[in-house]
A and B are shown apart, each in its own frame.
Chain A
């Protein structure tokens, strides 16, 4: 099981951030997320493995600077 913001989702072995975002409405909009407090950015979404029991935060970072 993983926690995504305030929801819980099933975890599976080998699940990547890209896999997770495919399950999220408008998941394609996210360029950065936090996995257990660490930033993971789009360039590595396809290879970053999510560990079981991970806490995920979707970061709506669009216009900072």
Chain B
């Protein structure tokens, strides 16, 4: 391995503050254009309103950018934060970092919640959040050494192009004989050449003695990072204990952490076995319920899906502890050891693959018609190494595969590749081309929205068809769930602030399978409560999975089983015990509501955030083609006749497709009305003045922005 070539540009020495009740009470600002560094205070009002994590990120980003700022501009700022509970060992899922910036895919705010050690180490080093602004002339590495109380910027030469190589070298260099004491954020060549770059956050695996990775995947954060010429950020910290956050009430914290941890250890083996198989258990379940995207979300089921689910990966994953934060008993970050790629720059070498998780299996597997677990593992490995989001990659390749099969594009466009569904070699080649920024892969790497426009303008494709089958909303590719039969989940995707990612609201089972919310009002209530509570995790530096992927045995007997209120109550105790801010379960929703609405208004500032942007392609609502309709004809015919009283006698499939479409599109608009009303928004989807006043986010520039958009009450 080559020696590191780092040339120190500038160092900031600082006095590390004591963490108090989960806060360092200051943030770090780094401008890589001129190597300026500054430390900013965190006010009590900032903590009260924005809590931390994504809340702090949004507040810092709001001040950094104007309505005219584009993602490539130096003003665009990557913000990374943990949260007040971030860095607590023993309480499951307490090691998250939240990253925000203006997205190359959407043009507005993107946020991503990621594991690994970085966020906690950043905080323990003295910073609740960090901002990276500017665009450097040469590649730089930022090193935050909490032990020595220094932040340094280095010019970096000759670091590997891929994220794995870079992280491994920097971990060895800065970690020395204590590799667990550093965490690296980096990306790879694919982030430079596409708009869907991800960030890899590391954690050190002491048993396997190498660096492991989690991804801040969505929205092209890695692309912004690469464009800024930031090669990596490294944080160093060595002493993680229950006292690290100096909690307000350590006894309560220990008690509630112990209860939660014990419950997961007891129940996970009985329920989803996430400590053994991660989220792969979802594959067969989604397939059984017709919810697993196959062939660009055309269908929800495939006879070969059993080859790529839990039963396959439980034998392929390397057994062992796979927690991406210390002491997490969910420990779902599994991987494959001694994997030998058949293609690309690592061909024939032995590597460790971090993953795959459900989203990658569905996105890079079933959605592409690929049912080989090893091909999916290889796609996973290279997406990570090149620094690309497996969800956007999978959904974008699915789109071009359908375009190819429909003759929208042909071999003259793909460089001779036959990119039909199921072609593993073509999928891998496209990923390599994306990593290199070459060939047809360079076009795929622009994402579905740009491809639609390109294919229409250059290849005279049918715009209406591409809009129907192109699985993006707000410019972001869909994550991997079928929503045709769940109106609530259509809203969960379509009204999600950043675009169609399920972390805001995953209501398919509650809606479609359990029918917990038959009315529009009930769906609207769910599309209020769940996004608010899910947002709360990202304010605090937490993972959502322990909340409702493992549930108490008596949960079904509670008044609102969908909310898993026993766990919500524990989270309220946890929040109070760390921050000293007394909170009951309902208070958590009120806390989140401030930040959630602020982010909606941030979208408005960037020219989005209105009803007209809360749209989804018809493929997400119902059958676009006659083939789709006829594949589930009994279901759709039944809905037309029984639910809607339509006389279908003598109607052609095309006529029935059109009739169903009209009905479903009307329902979606009615849902929007109900949700906006429940959230305290105008019919155009903008938070009202009354709402922002109630939430205490009626800052002068917010009020002015609302007025500019005609909202004065």
Contacts and interface: CB of A to CB of B under 8 A. Distances in A.
Contacts of B510: 62-63
A38 B306 CA distance: 11
Interface string B309-334: 01100000000000000000000000
A39 B285 contact: yes
A65 B555 contact: no
B509 A39 contact: no
B548 interface: yes
Interface of A: 5, 26, 29, 31-32, 38-39, 41-44, 57, 59-65
A62 B564 CA distance: 9
Interface in B489-536: 502, 506-510, 513-514
A42 B564 contact: no
A61 B272 contact: yes
A40 to B, nearest CB: 8
Contact of A43 (B281, B289, B502): B289
A63 B270 contact: no
Most chain A beta carbons < 10 A, residue from B288, B507, B553: B288
Contact of A31 (B284, B481, B502, B514): B514
Interface string B469-484: 0000000000001000
A26 B553 CA distance: 13
B551 interface: yes
A31 B564 CA distance: 17
B271 A57 contact: yes
Interface residues of B, number: 32
A38 B285 CA distance: 10
Nearest to B564: A63
Nearest to B314: A37
B282 interface: yes
B281 A31 contact: no
A62 B289 contact: no
Contact of A42 (B282, B508, B513, B553): B513
Contacts of B290: 43
B310 A39 contact: yes
Contacts of B507: 63
25 contacts: A5-B270, A26-B556, A31-B289, A31-B513, A32-B285, A39-B284, A41-B284, A41-B289, A42-B289, A43-B288, A43-B289, A60-B553, A61-B272, A62-B510, A62-B514, A62-B551, A62-B561, A63-B507, A63-B509, A63-B548, A63-B564, A64-B282, A64-B509, A65-B506, A65-B509
Given A32-B285, A39-B284, A42-B288, 6 more contacts: A26-B556, A29-B514, A57-B270, A61-B509, A64-B272, A65-B509
Interface of B: 270-272, 281-282, 284-285, 288-290, 310-311, 481, 502, 506-510, 513-514, 548-549, 551, 553, 555-557, 561-564
Nearest to A32: B285
Contact of B562 (A44, A57, A59, A62): A62
A63 B284 CA distance: 16
A61 B285 contact: yes
A38 B556 CA distance: 22
B517 to A, nearest CB: 12
For the complex of A and B, the 6 pairs showing the least CB-CB separation, nearest first, are A65-B506, A41-B288, A63-B548, A64-B549, A31-B513, A60-B551
A53 to B, nearest CB: 18
A62 B310 contact: no
A3 B412 CA distance: 60
A57 to B, nearest CB: 5
B618 to A, nearest CB: 23
B509 A31 contact: yes
Contacts of B271: 57, 59-61
B9 to A, nearest CB: 44
A58 to B, nearest CB: 9
Nearest to A44: B288
A59 B284 CA distance: 14
A63 B548 CA distance: 6
A41 B272 CA distance: 13
Contacts of A41: 284-285, 288-289
A56 to B, nearest CB: 11
Given A39-B284, A57-B271, A64-B549, A29 B509 contact: no
Contacts of B563: 63
Given A38-B311, A62-B551, A65-B508, A29 B281 contact: no
Given A5-B270, A26-B556, A62 B281 contact: no
A15 to B, nearest CB: 20
Nearest to B492: A65
Contacts of A44: 288
A52 B498 CA distance: 50
